[in-house]
Structure 1
Amino acid sequence: MTQDVNARIDALVKGNDAVLFMKGSPLFPQCGFSSRAVAILDHLGATYESVDVLQDQEIRQGIKAYSDWPTIPQLYVKGEFVGGSDIMMEMYESGELAALFGGEQPAA
């Protein structure tokens, strides 16, 4: 991974309270896992930035090395790697994800 890509990812992760690296956009997710991640965040009413890895091959490969996590989507909150959609779902169900965003778990 080039320093340039690492620096770009680092700036995105540290420059936003929450950022979701995903396939597609929140309005048009391009895979089921990205769609689930967006649905979880939207249900929480979370404010987040999204990065479409399909638009940038360097970031698509670089984010996997950056986090040492092999799959996309990847959620970062306050500069920390949270996980992919499965981890997000577990954290959502336990209330941990809502707490990360400083809110209460919404009623189902």
Structure 2
Amino acid sequence: MSDVQQRIDEIVKGNKVVLFMKGTAQFPQCGFSGRAIQILKACGAQDITTVNVLADEEVRQGIKEYANWPTIPQLYVNGEFVGGSDIMMEMYQAGELQEVLAG
């Protein structure tokens, strides 16, 4: 495992809810990241850890390899990859994301 993969792994496994996104929760830098934050807030998620991939090129590339998922944002809950903003929206509308976050 490379250094960046190790760093990502520690972040994912060390926090309950982690969103790798473009920008910050206060200032998302893309519509998909902004939507992901809104979905999490609508679910009442607490203690969301966000990682701004624009601030770290290694993480921006590394996170795509970590989950074998080509796009950002990426949501992890309890160390498990959940998905990107489209999957988050589908899960939210079905009531599944709220259950994952509560678990």
Q: Which residue of 1 aligns with 2:86?
A: 86
4+ runs of 1 displaced by more than 6 Å? none
Percent pairwise identity: 65
User: Rg: which structure is higher?
Assistant: 1
- Paired residues for 1:1-108 under 5 Å: 3-47=2-46, 48-102=48-102
* Superposed CA offset, 1:45-64 (max 9, x none): 10210000000000000000
**RMSD, matched Cα:** 1.1
Deviation at 1:99, TM superposition (A): 0.2
Gaps of 5+ in 2: none
Deviation at 1:23, TM superposition (A): 0.1
TM-score by length of 2: 0.96
Deviation at 1:44, TM superposition (A): 1.1
